[in-house]
Amino acid sequence: MDEAIGRVVEMIVASRRAIALTGAGVSTESGIPDFRGPKGLWKRFDPSIGTIDFFREHPDEFWRFQLERAKEMLRAQPNSAHHALAELEALGKIKAVITQNVDGLHFRAGSRNVIEIHGSVRVARCTACGRSTPIEDVLIMAERGLFPPKCRDCGHILKSGTVLFNEPIPVEELEKAYREVESCDLMIIVGTSLQVYPAAHLPVMAKQGGAKLVIINMESTPFDNIADVALRAKAGDTLAAVLEGVKRKLVAVD
């Protein structure tokens, strides 16, 4: 393990444009469950609850589920994995974090260039006029019995700002992600099962463009075989150790 961490440190120090790709496993140590891990959400709920069709057909049930998740995410604090990625960015060693997470914990840890390809839980949007409403306001509406939440301007139903299954990824975010992937020379993939597209295609794109790949995940992924280093490990401790190693090397270089 130490040797593998040492290799990751060397790769980050040698890189010119390293980026990270993260998934739900980066936030489990903050108390937010993932989807497909041993205690994953899709073991307790039918994944159809996360589809756009379910939202359209059962808005009450969808919003009850969504607001419980939103409350959990608002309560959660960034963990050492989020902090390590933010510090690596501040050191100039990571240029962007592309995340499938909607919890905003990368921003709260201090990462700046975060691309949220599955949207964010922080705002809801009107399905008719597009007006955005902060999730805190939606929670207050629900407490007052205004449920499912409706737009204050036009009265149409609000949809959460997260991307649902069978919904397209926002084009702008996806294009930003592609630009980062096309120009990266190292992709550090953390806490994702790499089973959902288009995110799961990004490591392949990076590899085809000549970048090195590091995968840090508790379980194996379908792309371990194309990774330069695949670590079956916890995100928090591993990234904290990687950060310490990078800092030591950078001091030694100075």
Give me the active site residues, please.
Answer: 118
Q: How many CA atoms lie within 13 A of 55 on its CB side?
A: 19
For 75, 140, 141, 147, 149, the CA distances from 144, given in Å and listed in that order, are 21, 6, 5, 8, 10
Nearer to ligand OAD, 18 or 26 (CB): 26
- The verdict on whether omega for the bond into residue 78 sits within 30 degrees of 0, i.e. cis, is no
Task: Please give the residue ranges that form the binding site for ligand OAD (CB under 6 A).
Answer: 23-25, 28-29, 34-37, 40, 50, 100, 118, 163, 165, 191-193, 195-196, 217-219, 234-235
Q: How far is the CB of 165 from ligand OAD (least distance, A)?
A: 5
| Closer residue to ligand OAD, CB minimum distance, 35 or 151 | 35
Judged by beta carbon, residue 96 or residue 189, the one nearer ligand OAD is 189
- Closer CB to ligand OAD, 151 or 221, in the complex: 221
Check residue 197 and report its DSSP letter: T
**Least Å from the CB of residue 251 to ligand OAD:** 27
**Closest residue to ligand OAD: CB criterion:** 25
Write down the least CB distance from residue 87 to ligand OAD, Å.
Answer: 18
How many whole angstroms separate alpha carbon 104 and alpha carbon 151? 23
Minimum CB separation of residue 5 from ligand OAD in Å reads 14
* CA–CA distance, 254 with 155 (Å, rounded to integer): 60
- Helices 235-253 and 80-90 cross at an angle (nearest 10°) of 20
